[in-house]
Structure 1
Amino acid sequence: MLKRNLLIPQRVGNFKCPLIQEFLATGQYGNAARQLLNSGVPFNQSYLYLSNCPEALIEYFNLLIKEVYMSDAPRKKVICNLYVNILLPQYLVLSPADREPLIAKFIDFVKQNKDFIEKRVLYKSIRECNFLTLLRECYLIFGDYTEYLRLYFEYCNYAAITIDEFNRLMNLICNIPLNEQQILFKSFPLSFMKFIMRNWRTFNRRPTCDPIFPAICDIIFAEPMDMEAVNLLQPIMEKMYTRGKDGGTHSNAQRNLYYILLARTNDQQKMEDYYKNSQWLKLPHDFLLRWLKRRGMETLASQFCAHLFDRHYLAVTYSVIAANKEKSIRPVLDLLTSLLNDAEDRRECWLRALETTSNMKKKDNASDESDGWRTLLETAVTSCVLTLDDIFPIMPENMSIDSFQSTILNAIKEYQTDNSAAVHRIDQFINRASSQRELISRGTQLRVELDPLQQCALCKQSIYKDRFLVFPCYHTVHIKCLLSNMNLFYTAPEMLNLISLTSKAAKSESANKLLSEYISRSCPICGELSVRVLDKDFILKEEVEAREMWKLD
């Protein structure tokens, strides 16, 4: 260190400092600092006086910090920051063994006075001296966990990190912002990510979905894909993104990423479980479909769309693309006969498949593609999804009708059976209609119970002595009595009509029925039916409508 070679006077400014020269010359820096304080030399003059003797200046600051008057916060802040700038460079000339206890004391000093130390000044001084261990400790003291973790992982040996050490680091990682967590996990080498995934269950505090999402993306989208990392990652993602464990709620992007992992590993069983998850139907599917198409996974894309009730046509389209690539109709046939076999629009899907693969039927007869298309056509008919009327317009001219011989025979048999059943049913309807018309025309017979002593309302004789009429009001009259007194109940035209019907009734049974109906229109005593006849016939309107319904033209 630089030391003063000139003689130091016995005074500082206007203040006398006896023995100050001897103390500095003999290395009694503590006594020299004490002498300055006892002499009442102001701080600024003492600082300038000892600036060329750092050892004495450090002792001076140590004494200042312990003084009672240092309770003045602004003054203490200035002195603490100056102390930091002066003290740290002194450690550079010391050996690591001598420096270690001094560093520990300095850390205690920072902890006690962190409210007065400007951390920006402190960090700058430590970086200039390259005391990285001290810098990490200061980051922890001031709560700068992000800077601490960056510095830690920048110079650390990842292979030497133990489970306990990672648990300690995770407690710090959880206290930094989410974007910083993502940057940190993304910066980890693949070997360390394997260490994390391998010991996932043993950690006290595991990373959640969001912080590790970018790091997982790097693993899944890597080319070529590291299968060891993927095998370690898959059970973790299954718990996090499908079972709702180790991470809480998940975004659509995270669930889509899990499907991409399954697609890249071609795990069909896990994909089927994924399709059955109710949350999967709520996802936006366009991103996954575009990714599958870019990767040339049209077969998976068709399976994907087949599980969506509104994407069946698109499923057929992707299966046709896969069939053209493979030069085989098998992807289309598998899709239609398995995943779309129970779909409500399966007929439309079959027609779309046949139309979009129609280019295959133009191949030569010996072509496998042409044979495959014919197989698709025959399967559509033999499985009773399409009828002969559906397939005749798209059949190739050189395709023999013998391929559908069994289908045609079955169709004819079914037609004959259905036709016989239909004819028999029509005959039943005709017979039933005739019976109904007869019942409606005849009407329903009404029964009435009369008193054995019932009398004619006109002649007051027993009603049973002659033919009589009974009205719904229970008035009874002899027919001959009614005809004898018809001038009381009928108008002149009505009487003429009644006389005519009476003469006809003697000759014809049908006229006798008309006569009975005419006479029975209303009760001659109370006129009950004459009131009802205004809005109600003897044959009800409902009966007339029922009769018309069974009428066959």
Structure 2
Amino acid sequence: MSLIDDFIENSNDFIAPSYAGNGSSFFSESDGFEPSDPVHMLETGFVSAGLAEDDSRIFTLDRVQFQFPAPLLAMAVSNEILIMALENNHILRIDLQQAHDVEDIEIPRKSGEIKIYKIFFDPTGRHLLITTEQGENFYIFEKWKRAKVLTKFKGIIIESVGWNKSAGSSSDTSTKKILVGSRNGIIYEAEIEPTDEYFKKEEKFCKQVYSLNENLPVTGLRIEQFPASPRKYLIVAATPTRIYQFIGNANSTADLDGSSVFENLLSRYESSPDFQELPGNLPYSELHFFSQYQDLHYQGVAKNFAWLTGPGIYHGNLVFGSQDFGDHVIDSAQLFPYPATPSETDPSTLVSEIPLSIALTEFHFILLYKERVRAICQLNDQIVFEDNIPLKPGETVRTMTVDNIKSTYWIYTDCSIFELIVTREDRDVWKLYLEKQQFDNALQYCMNAAQRDKVLTTQADYYFSQGRFLLSANYYAQSIVPFEEVSLKFVERDERDALRTYLLKKLEKLRRQDLTQKTMIATWLVEIYISKINTIEDLAASSASSEDTSNYKAEQRVLENEFKEFLDQFKGNLDKRTTYNLIASHGRTDELLYYATLIGDHDKVISHWIQERNYKQALDVLSKQASVDVFYKFAPVLMENAPYETVDVWMRQTNLNPRNLMPALLKYDHSNAPENIVQNQAIRYLQYVVQKLKNTDPAIHNFLLTLYATQPTTDESDLLKFLAIEGKEPHYNMDYALRLCSQHKRMQSCVHIYSNMGLFEEAVDLALKQNDLELARINADKPEDDETLRKKLWLKIARHVVEKKQDIKTAMDYLQLCELLKIEDILPFFPDFVLIDDFKSEICQALEGYNKNIEELKEEMEEATKSAESIRSDIRELRCRFAIVTSEEKCAICDFPLLTRQFYIFPCQHAFHADCLIKQVTKSLNTSQLRGILELQKQIEKELSNMNHSPDNAARARPPAQGGFDRLKGLILPEATTHSGDDVAVVVPKLDQLKDELDDLVASECVLCGELMIKNIERPFINEDENDLLASWAI
């Protein structure tokens, strides 16, 4: 069923519009084919492969139920938009996605004035050209309801249009530059852009660009852009007898200046047109193209073409490359004669009838005749479909039109429309290609595994019969022919290379779980490879010709590389022991080592090279290993035979544990090293470990120390450098180091170790014992924080110089080197009778120094006396400070007259009663401060009591300020007890001192402008002890 029928059946409620002339509706009331129409089918089709038969037809002719208000003159379908031109100069437009909506567009001319000749619809379904037999042309754009006249096209009867594919954008309404072929053989270039402005014309450009110089209609035009060269175009033009090719670059500035795009391209062919001529007297012709991506509903590059001519259908492929002017794009063109069929008058006579129209699918030609339609397969030239068109009496077939975007095919008469439905036309193409032995094409169109296997098996058998065994093996491996059968075929022919190829391909295709089969085939391949390599090697050795020898060796290298690739790919499918034995039995050492390396059996490879005494190769293999156990295993033998190279490898492996290498280092004997290797390699490696890798293992450090100490040399520089690097917190055992160095007479090192142990006296004594004064002096300065010890050590050095060396001059020099030593310190070491000439100046300098120190002490005492007198003077002045207070002055807290009670006044001029100030200050003091104030108050009471000798007098003598303490005392301290009186002369100064302390606590700063006021900012308005009162006011 066609697309229109499908929509009609689902639109029962739709009432088609009618016309006032005849009252007929656009759609008839019946659906589908009319039952009375006789349908005669001839479906020869493709012969089934016998694997999966499909009886459904490829081609089906379906009538579209539609009633026309006037005879149909022309029809076009593009992008599922169907256009019909009627004899009454009306244009009907139907969107096949909304088939019930039929748009009627009227041509702005009376029906008697013009007659529509042809219509041309662009592939996007947006631009429609209408040409008349009178040479008038009209244009309709997309949703327009009325056609517009193309005045610049007046007088041109259009026969064909070459549409521009670059005009497919929905945002661009222009047709871009198109080519128009006329009835008289002239090609025009034009551009049409729809506009809604009344005075603006749609045709922006219309110009004659080429003449075919033959008074025949241009029946076909096509513009194709080269895929690899956007500015290069192919233009194909056809007449009833000729087909032209034009190749060249388009004008790159045409879009900017509005000039012609194709004129320069076509003008190059004016003097020498490139065409193919097929003579005949057929008055009409058609040119069709099939796009490479037509099945994707996309305007791709044309893949092949078909040209309707008098002798037959001229068809071929289009191959785009680097062609230029004079070259051809049409390739493999051939003429297909029209099939001869029995004549209607005389069935015994075969007649070749020329079709009215043709269409081109991917694999078929569709031929339209006056009463029937045929489909012919392009691959075998056989008629695969033939159907009589069910015509009504007097009904005439017009032609055929194709929707190249949606790949639909339409036949129309003067009063009917038929859709030729194509269903899976490629389903049996594989078998046709197979019969033609075009195996690659056959595989491309296989639709299931059975078809594919049939093609592969046939292809493999074909190549086997031709003696092309390697190709045959490749395709047998892809088929499901039994493994044993194929293997025997190659074994019987003694085709070991083909068998190897087959086994390789088969091995690649086996499933992961087929472990046994994989192992068997892989092992078999190992044997085949090794045997083949040995055979070629023997041929090369026995060949008399040097050229043959080199050829054999080259072949051997290729085969060895191939074998290594095989081992690399399938090492997981081989049994290690079997493979070792198989390769070793043929004496293939290189391949054996390669296989061992692949499977990670590095022990075997290294052991082999060690047995061969090729330690360099052994180390090369070892250096590539990630496992440290391999290094430990072969360390002793490699360190013994190649110490320098071994240490180089170890130093590149930072993850080694040096403790595990100590057995090899202990076994190493540097005395057996070659003369060119001076440095002990064990020391070299341990130095690297300690200094570069920052190893802190005591065993390693002790071992390195041992190696340094036991070296057959008296030079201790390396050992001392090591000890210096270790620092004051060494990683070696210092007791062990001291014993070792003493045993091997490394006295400088012993001194260094004593020093590190803090035994500076022993270090200096040992240095002096060795008569190394410089070393002793260095160690004497080391106890920097203990001057007594330093002086003692320097005295040892001085005594040694004086008593042992009798060098008084040098002893005097030490007075300059150590500031702790004085001349009087070393004088006792001098002999009883000695001349003072050598140290007379030092004695004088010492006396002068003592005199200078005495003068400095006198100056300091005078300065201290002056400072004390100044302080006493300042104190006296402070006691005499005063402030003037008037009788109107008030307390800054209670606002009562200030002079009524004891008061305080501050430099800021704020004045307070003593009790008001104390009360205010105590609010901000903590408990400990309050206790301090009350303790002072208690002591003051005591002293006052002692002065008055009675409690009553003491109460009267108590100053009013004490009243501020009474309330505090009851809260913090128990009542003061009575004390016995003291002497008045002692009490008064003490009382003054207590009052000063109280002033420091209470009156150290003003409570209104001091730090206390700043702290009160954070003080809450309601104290914690008032919370109960606050709660009582809650509602």
TM-score (norm. length: structure 1): 0.46
- Larger-Rg structure: 2
The structure whose residues are more often helix, as a share, is: 1
The structure whose residues are more often strand, as a share, is: 2
TM-score (norm. length: structure 2): 0.28
